[in-house]
Amino acid sequence: MRRVVFLAAVLGLCAVGSAGQESPKHRLICGFDSQADLAGIAFTTRHALVTDKQLVTQGAAAIKLTFAKGAGWPGLTITGTRLKGWQDYDLLVMDVRNLSDKRLGLTMRFDDARTNNYETRAHFGKTLRPGATTIRIPLKLLKRENGEPFNLATLRRFIVFTGTRKSDVEIVFDNLRLENEEAAPTAVPGAHMFDFGATTSQTFGGFVKVTPKAKYRAERGYGFTSTAKLNATNSVLPDALLGDYVHASSLSFRVDLPNGSYRVHVSAFHPDRAYSVRIGEVEVFGVWCRVSVAMDVVNQERMEKHDRETSNL
């Protein structure tokens, strides 16, 4: 089976410290705490406020939606003043709990002043596994279905819905909010940090942008040993570091470093699949050292087992 390497970021460093950062500012859109909280929200499925402390993540209550078996697009719709000012934030965040034992596809739809058909809407999809999930939608990366930029300043409708269901499903929503990401880190002394992606994509703070055309040159000290058949892709992921990547069936990236011991961190993945990546230390002697990245597709059973184990930590 042919494997494809997706390279998002590589860090080679001797020692890295972390500086404290202020908490990101946030704005509550709806806490679903009372009937008054539901003003301006339209529901196209059965719904009820719940006060079970195991289901509520903020405030006094949460909202439970029951999606009946069958077709259609049931859900909730928010309009009005709650949608003002979303362009000033990085993320739309909501706490969700799938009460069923089945996975469920959930879609978030955004309409602005120019939306008049499917092609001019923006969508964000999420598959909910059973149990609790926090959904984070990178607002700055939203695009219309036709690929054009979406204008959050004129947002006029936000919809959460699901599609065809083989059985009744209950979903609990709480703490719908806007957040700003923490300030991106600045360059760290002793670290070599690279953000791989397209020429037009954003570069994560403190990192060096590397595009598929960045062939190694001695005067620069880094680059791909060959740029043949390299491509870059933008993906809707929460930040500028992992939101884009360079990919190929195989690739080699070279960095010139002084002799020494380095810890190498590699983010190598596909956004729709999970891979295991070996991260470790490497001794550098001379100007060229090869670091291999072992990647294996992780099957769904192993991923679900990992999710269950880490959720109990």
- Per CATH, the number for 5-19+183-308 is 2.60.120
In DSSP terms, 144 is beta-bridged to: 122
Is the distance from CB of 223 to CB of 254 less than 8 angstroms?
yes
What DSSP assignment string belongs to the chain?
Answer: ----EEEEEEEEES-------PPPPEEEEE---STGGGTTEEESSEEEEE--TTT-SSSS-EEEEEE-SBSS--EEEE-GGGGTTGGG-SEEEEEEEE-SSS-EEEEEEEE-TT--SGGG-EEEEEEEPSEEEEEEEEGGG-BBTTSPBP-GGG--EEEEEE--BSS-EEEEEEEEEEE-PPPPP---TTEEEEEE--TTS---TTPEEE-TT-B-BTTTTEEES--TT-EEEE---SSTTTSEEEEESS--EEE---SEEEEEEEEE-BTTB-EEE--EEEEE-SS-------EEEPPHHHHHHHHHHHHT-
Per-position b or e across 204-241, b if 16+ CB within 10 A of its CB: beebebbbbebebeeeeebbbeebeebebeebebbbbb
Question: Which two structure tokens, joined as six digits, stand for 162?
Answer: 């699901």
Q: What is the mean pLDDT of each run of 10 residues along the chain (313 residues)?
A: 51 40 72 92 93 93 90 88 93 94 89 95 90 90 88 96 85 94 65 85 82 91 90 69 78 81 70 45 45 41 42 36
pTM, two decimals, is 0.60
Which position has the token pair 């990546």? 277
Nearest one of 152, 140, 150 to 202, comparing CA atoms: 140
Is the distance from CB of 207 to CB of 195 less than 8 angstroms?
yes
Look at residue 239 in the predicted model and tell me its pLDDT.
64
Look at residue 255 in the predicted model and tell me its pLDDT.
85
Nearest one of 93, 104, 96 to 64, comparing CA atoms: 96
Look at residue 260 in the predicted model and tell me its pLDDT.
74
What is the CATH architecture assignment of 26-179? Sandwich (2.60)
* d(C-alpha 235, C-alpha 241), whole Å: 11
The domain limits of the chain are 5-19+183-308, 26-179
Question: Which two structure tokens, joined as six digits, stand for 289?
Answer: 């050292």
Which position has the token pair 């700055």? 140
* d(C-alpha 101, C-alpha 132), whole Å: 12
Nearest one of 221, 214, 269, 266 to 244, comparing CA atoms: 269
Domains 5-19+183-308 and 26-179 share a fold: yes
Is the distance from CB of 25 to CB of 264 less than 8 angstroms?
no
Look at residue 81 in the predicted model and tell me its pLDDT.
93
Look at residue 18 in the predicted model and tell me its pLDDT.
38
Question: Which two structure tokens, joined as six digits, stand for 71?
Answer: 């077709």
